Amino acid sequence: MCPPNLKALGGTSDIFPSDSDAWQQLESLARHTAHLYGFREIRTPLIEEAAVFTGALGSTTEVVTKQMYQFEDRGGRRVVLRPEGTASIVRAFIEKGLDKTGGLVRLYYMGPMFRAERPQAGRRRQFHQFGAEMFGSASPYSDVETIAVLKRILDSWGLTGWKLKINSLGTPEDRSRILDFIRQKLEPHKDKFSPEELERLEKNPLRILDSKEPVCQVLCGAIDFSEVIADESLDRFDQVLRTLGHMDIPFERDPLLVRGLDYYTHTVFEVVHPALGAQDALGGGGRYDGLVQGMGGVSTTAVGFAIGLERVLIALEALKAVPATTKQPAVYVATTDPAEIPEGLLQAEQLRERSIEAVVNLEDRPLKRQFDQANKLGCRFVIVRGAAEREKKVVTVKDMNSREQRELTQADWLATMADLVKE
């Protein structure tokens, strides 16, 4: 026996048909747009060996230290419910040997991610991302094209009012200089930091830039990596920014943007939206040129992004632009006598043969109740089957909008219904 009052776990949600239509529309628009750029879908398992993430994301990142759903399976392996997509895709990319074939590989993915966070608006324990990854180009233009896909997806959803923030972390050598630079700038102010921030400063100074502490924010505000990044990296970044301008993609340089994971190099970006409040990031991404090699593959450059779909829906709701529910069955097949139900089932099948959505009455109940049901489902037409129709060899159809009722002959009812539904 189950205990009573079973509920979904905190931070997870059920998506009912009233919302799943909107989800499906977002998903199909994103798919369509990704295809326009030559991206094809990859589906990886939701569960992976823990090492896929612990190595890739960085052992000091919040996702790894605090948020991974990690456990030992029955075989004693340490496994993780994926907290993000990129590391799994890189694992799959290497496992398939794609790192050895060279050439451009463009992949997109969609699906649930899991992070053990404190649930609040826009922060779920199971949430959904749409993401894209491009492997095999080091060109700054590949950064721009990745951002262009992201922008076109947001546009296809009718999402307005977002802002693209962008920064560069340079090469791994630049990164070590950045870390030293942050330490050097902040060490004299150590006494003002909390123990947690001191630990960050010691272990991974980039993480301190995410601190919400006002003192820390003021001190960090004075830091600009471009002082220590090599000229070549700055030129590369400049080319990205100039090309974004050329493509009419608006952006804002944010010298403190570092993103939460350790694998990024060169360009990093984030899309924020004011409707999201404290959790204002809709999505983000960047280059990760060292990750394929870092995970045991042949060195392969890469760039990608991920968008959080729950947050997209929050922003669309604020804009009153959530895609409308459009899917309603077109036809309801009602029966005046339960003996007619088997014929009703066949009639509904004939409609579906013609790709017309149809539902059929399955119960012994009054016609009025069936019409109520048809109304509730939003059916445009009701077909009524009864003894009279059988005798006269006709099909009665009622248009629920105009309330008009007509009789169609058995010979042409189906063709006429197809025309009516199309109108």
Residues that bind ligand AMP (CB under 6 A): 84, 115, 117, 122-124, 127, 129, 260, 281-284, 306, 308, 310-311
Contact by Cβ (8 Å): 382, 397: yes
- Residue 310's contacts (CB-CB under 8 Å, 6 or more residues apart) are 122, 124, 127, 128
Choose between 136 and 286: whose C-beta lies nearer to ligand AMP.
286
Choose between 210 and 343: whose C-beta lies nearer to ligand AMP.
210
What is the residue whose two structure tokens read 């969609």? 110
Q: Which residue is nearest to ligand AMP (CB)?
A: 308
Contact by Cβ (8 Å): 373, 336: no
What is the smallest separation between the CB atom of 86 and ligand AMP, expressed in angstroms?
A: 8
Q: How far apart are CA 168 and CA 174, in angstroms?
A: 10
What is the smallest separation between the CB atom of 87 and ligand AMP, expressed in angstroms?
A: 11
What is the smallest separation between the CB atom of 389 and ligand AMP, expressed in angstroms?
A: 53
What is the smallest separation between the CB atom of 70 and ligand AMP, expressed in angstroms?
A: 16
Choose between 122 and 136: whose C-beta lies nearer to ligand AMP.
122
Q: How far apart are CA 266 and CA 139, in angstroms?
A: 11
> Residue 8, SS3?
coil
What is the smallest separation between the CB atom of 288 and ligand AMP, expressed in angstroms?
A: 12
Q: Which long-range contacts link 89-97 to residues 24+ away (Cβ below 8 Å)?
A: 89/42, 89/44, 89/133, 90/56, 90/291, 90/292, 90/295, 90/297, 90/302, 91/44, 91/48, 91/52, 91/295, 92/42, 92/44, 93/135, 93/292, 93/297, 93/300, 94/292, 94/295, 94/296, 94/297
Choose between 129 and 243: whose C-beta lies nearer to ligand AMP.
129
Q: At what angle do helices 86-95 and 50-57 cross, to 10 degrees?
A: 110
Q: How far apart are CA 169 and CA 165, in angstroms?
A: 13
Choose between 276 and 330: whose C-beta lies nearer to ligand AMP.
276
Choose between 175 and 311: whose C-beta lies nearer to ligand AMP.
311
Choose between 27 and 357: whose C-beta lies nearer to ligand AMP.
27
Choose between 124 and 266: whose C-beta lies nearer to ligand AMP.
124
Choose between 21 and 310: whose C-beta lies nearer to ligand AMP.
310
Q: How far apart are CA 234 and CA 253, in angstroms?
A: 13
Neighbouring C-beta atoms of residue 215, cutoff 10 Å: 13
Query: Both tokens of residue 301?
Result: 């450059």
Choose between 136 and 283: whose C-beta lies nearer to ligand AMP.
283
Choose between 165 and 177: whose C-beta lies nearer to ligand AMP.
165
Q: Transcribe 249-275 into DSSP letters.
A: ---EE-TT---SSTT-EEEEEEEE-GG
What is the smallest separation between the CB atom of 395 and ligand AMP, expressed in angstroms?
A: 50
What is the smallest separation between the CB atom of 360 and ligand AMP, expressed in angstroms?
A: 40
What is the residue whose two structure tokens read 């017309």? 356
Q: How far apart are CA 188 and CA 37, in angstroms?
A: 49
What is the smallest separation between the CB atom of 22 and ligand AMP, expressed in angstroms?
A: 16
The continuous run of DSSP H or E covering 107 comes out as: strand 105-114
Query: Both tokens of residue 251?
Result: 């952006």
Q: Which residues pair with 332 in a beta bridge?
A: 359, 382
What is the smallest separation between the CB atom of 231 and ligand AMP, expressed in angstroms?
A: 29
Q: Transcribe 54-93 into DSSP letters.
A: HHHH-TTSHIIIII-EEEE-TTS-EEEE-S-SHHHHHHHH
